[in-house]
Amino acid sequence: MTAALEASRLGKRYGGKWALSDCSLSIPTGRVVGLVGPNGAGKSTLLHLAVGLLAPSAGTISVLGARPGSGPEALARVGFLAQDSPTYDRLTVAAHLQMGRWLNPAWDDEFASSRISELELDVRQRAGTLSGGQRAQLALTLAVAKRPELLLLDEPVASLDPLARREFLSTLMEIVASRQVSVVLSSHLIADLERVCDYLVLLVSGRVAVSGDVDSLLASHRRLSGPRRDPSTMPGNLMVIEASHAVRQSTIVVRTDGPIIDPAWTVTPLTLDDLVLAYMRQARDGAGAPVSRLAMAP
């Protein structure tokens, strides 16, 4: 099956600085992907590469089996919502819809009109006078009405208040439930995406720190706490992601496929938030000597 997004050793350089480097990914279709990472991790760069607004400096990227932005057909299959849901301040809601109708061959007018009336937006109102939440909903409506197979949303809820955030995500999930569309949405806060995404891609400093199905990731990571212990003496089937030590106690986050049998450990599951933080710290602290390799030593 064609991947929604496939990248191989993808890199993007601005001047002397790599915003994204050595990024290899394969995201299946039909998923809601959370693209997470601190500010400046390369999330926007990856999305801009995926939509064809940027060209790679290294490696390759394909979206739904095609090179991004390679022609009208490739463009029609991808919907993109840039950061802060840009709309044209001086144009009315009706004019936005008219523009969508003119510019997109597969435009779904029925969907667009019914969304706008459900949102109780006055079509004569200028976009500049809408609230942040309403503007985001208008921009989402336009992006979905073009009937894309893949929807890319860059920090769609970052600037919204909690209620607007919840409403935006509800709308998005209703769309996922009723239409055949894969979604990639970015945020620097995993808490924003935890309920909605079933696939995680974590970027740290321009690299992929971890990616995969959320449920499998949660099932394969555990936090162990017990008497102080050198992480390099852990059994080889446990990959150490993060270890911290107090005088008498060690707390270790591991990735493993099997159960943890050593009775010395108190084993607890991780939340998605814990997991993301563990990988972020690993990426920050473990650059010189990967802790995971220490764990593999005999």
Partner 1 sequence: MEVIEFHLDPSSGVATYLQLVQQVHQALQLGLLEPGDRLPTAAQVVASLAINPNTVLKAYRDLEREGLVRARPGLGTFVVGQLPRTDPAAQEKFRRSMSTWLRSAREAGLAIEEIEAIYRTAVRNCLTEGVA
Residues that bind partner 1 in the complex, under the rule CB under 8 A: 32, 166, 169-170, 173-174, 176-178, 194-198, 215, 218, 259, 266, 268-269, 271
Q: Kindly state the smallest distance separating residue 223's Cβ from partner 1, in Å.
A: 11
Alpha-carbon distances of 75 from 80, 98, 103, rounded to whole Å = 10, 19, 11
Q: Kindly state the smallest distance separating residue 254's Cβ from partner 1, in Å.
A: 15
Residue appearing with tokens 């007018």: 109
Residue type, 226: G
Q: Kindly state the smallest distance separating residue 270's Cβ from partner 1, in Å.
A: 9
First to last CA, the chain: 40
Q: Kindly state the smallest distance separating residue 257's Cβ from partner 1, in Å.
A: 12
At 141 the three-state DSSP class reads helix
Q: Kindly state the smallest distance separating residue 30's Cβ from partner 1, in Å.
A: 8
CA 176 to mean position of chain CA atoms: 15
Among residues 39 and 180, whose Cβ is nearest to partner 1? 180
Among residues 68 and 167, whose Cβ is nearest to partner 1? 167
Residue appearing with tokens 């006055």: 122
Among residues 91 and 196, whose Cβ is nearest to partner 1? 196
213 sits in which H/E element: strand 207-213
Closest C-alpha to 208, from 2, 11, 4: 11
Among residues 122 and 262, whose Cβ is nearest to partner 1? 262
Q: Kindly state the smallest distance separating residue 169's Cβ from partner 1, in Å.
A: 4
How far apart (Å, rounded) are the C-alpha atoms in residues 243 and 252?
A: 4
Backbone torsion region of residue 127, taken as left when φ is above 0, otherwise alpha when ψ lies between -120 and 50, otherwise beta: alpha
> How do 5-14 and 58-63 pair as beta strands?
antiparallel
Q: Provide the token pair at 243.
A: 């270890």
Return all residues near 219 (Cβ < 8 A) that are at least 6 apart: none
Q: Kindly state the smallest distance separating residue 100's Cβ from partner 1, in Å.
A: 24
Q: Kindly state the smallest distance separating residue 158's Cβ from partner 1, in Å.
A: 16
How far apart (Å, rounded) are the C-alpha atoms in residues 145 and 100?
A: 8
Among residues 197 and 208, whose Cβ is nearest to partner 1? 197
Among residues 22 and 198, whose Cβ is nearest to partner 1? 198
Among residues 119 and 218, whose Cβ is nearest to partner 1? 218
Length of the chain in terms of residues written: 298
274 sits in which H/E element: helix 272-285
Among residues 134 and 182, whose Cβ is nearest to partner 1? 182
CB 224 within 8 A of CB 254: yes
